[in-house]
Structure 1
Amino acid sequence: MIIRPYRSFRSLLRACALPAAIALGAAACLPASAQTQLSPGDTQFAQDASQAGATEIAASKLALSSSSNAQVKKFAQQMIADHTKLARSLDVVATQKGLGKSPGADSALIGKLQGLKGDDFDKLYIDEVAVSGHQKAVELFQKESESGTDAQLKAAATRALPTIRHHLAMAQQLANARKASS
């Protein structure tokens, strides 16, 4: 094998370009966790937001069959649609960041709801899931949007916050309507 010296700087660059491109491409294919490490606060936000969304979706699916109130069912349908969309958005970021499997719904709360029907279901669903759940979610997403350290998670929280605030306002109206009819 004959080794030839590079005739010019350009030929040297061409010879190095392919291996450099391969190395950069390989780095881009590494799991996100190998590229950047999330802060404990950002990791906790991602887990809490995921669980809150899963709980909202599971509870709202129960509402469709367990509630006897048309307003509650309409609210539940909206929550399923919006929180499914939000969950997909957050899952994309979480996957890119190398986070493991998202936590599921709050099984204790879902268990309480499963045993209820009609007005009993509506009261617990409105109080614990719709109002309280969205109050906690607003606080969670507000905190991340203000003090999160990961740019993608911070941006996702900021984008989601208006929708979650709107959900809270809807939940409060639902609670007020329920109290007025009682």
Structure 2
Amino acid sequence: MKRTLHGVTLAAVLFTGGVSMAQSATSANPPAGTKMATPTPKGMVEFKGFMAPSDPKAFMERLHYINQSEIKQAELAQKASENPDVKSYAKMMIDSHTAADKQLMDMAKTQKMTLSDMPKPSNDMEKKAMAADKALMEKLQSLKGAPFDSCYMANQVGAHDEAIGKVMAAKQGMTSAPAEMTTMLTQLSQELPKHRDMAYQTLGKLDDAMGVGGAGMQDGTMDHGSMNHGATPPSGSGSMGGATKTK
């Protein structure tokens, strides 16, 4: 009887072990066509597909870069646009990003940091994004009037989607950030969606004036993250709907 029980127990152990090994083999070799999650690059934090540097100084340099890019584009809009709504939006962007950049640079000074105007790309994605930013500025400089308005405002929606995603990634994943920076990230997470909603509404007015249905990225234009974001409608003023990555 003992031998029989021992045999049954051994068979059960072997069976259980076989199932366990089979499950391990299955998990190690997922079915064909299954998409594997892309690991977050070293030194980066991630939020819903958006990434930001985990190092406070590196992230601050990118915020400085974004602020300066937004100011330059908005200054160009003041000259190239003939639309009062676009001009009003551009003035708001100049005022807002100038104030934000001053706050950022003051904080860097208290932290004894020197921020570069052109941060060194940490990976190929950032390198391509910065090249796309340069190409966008060159394209905007070649446009005037309605074509400029459409290109500028469509990119503003996408650029703010990207900025919101980066801020949320930093806010949730940057555990070593100074208290002053944590406060600034909270402010940005509240202000950027408002800018994004204003950009979307202004773009909608342009579409209505031209009789165009829907809104989206213009041919050959890219946002700060070199990702194609559709101009999805805001879910409400100050909503975080813009932080959702779309393809």
Q: TM-score, normalised by structure 1?
A: 0.71
Percent identical among aligned pairs is 27
Q: Per-residue deviation at 1:179?
A: 1.5
Q: Distance in 1 between matches of 2:115 and 2:59?
A: 14
1:102 aligns with 2:116: yes
1:72 aligns with 2:86: yes
Indicate which of 136, 147, 167 corresponds to 2:162.
Answer: 136
Task: Name the Cα RMSD after superposition.
Answer: 1.9
> Relative to structure 2, which stretch is displaced further, 55-64 or 154-163?
154-163
User: What does residue range 1-182 of structure 1 map to in structure 2 within 5 Å?
Assistant: 40-103=54-117, 106-128=133-155, 130-148=156-174, 149-150=176-177, 151-182=179-210
Aligned pairs, number: 143
Q: Per-residue deviation at 1:77?
A: 0.5
> Relative to structure 2, which stretch is displaced further, 62-71 or 139-148?
139-148
- Structure 1 consecutive aligned stretches of length 4 or more whose deviation exceeds 6 Å: none
Q: Deviations over 1:29-61 (max 9, x none)?
A: xxxxxxxxxx85323321221111111110000
C-alpha contact (below 8 Å) 2:83/2:149 kept by paired residues: yes
Q: Distance in 2 between matches of 1:131 and 1:41?
A: 27
C-alpha contact (below 8 Å) 1:57/1:84 kept by paired residues: yes
Q: Distance in 1 between matches of 2:137 and 2:88?
A: 19
Q: TM-score, normalised by structure 2?
A: 0.54
Q: 1:144 to 1:40 in 2, by over 3 A?
A: closer
Q: Distance in 1 between matches of 2:107 and 2:182?
A: 10
Q: Per-residue deviation at 1:101?
A: 3.5
Q: Unaligned regions of 5+ residues in structure 2, if any?
A: 1-52, 119-129, 211-247
Q: Distance in 2 between matches of 1:98 and 1:107?
A: 30
Counterpart amino acid of 1:75? Answer: Y
Q: Deviations over 1:4-44 (max 9, x none)?
A: xxxxxxxxxxxxxxxxxxxxxxxxxxxxxxxxxxx853233
Which residue number in structure 1 is paired with residue 45 of structure 2? none
Q: Per-residue deviation at 1:110?
A: 2.0
Q: 1:158 to 1:63 in 2, by over 3 A?
A: same
Q: Secondary structure at the match of 2:55?
A: helix
Q: 1:101 to 1:43 in 2, by over 3 A?
A: closer
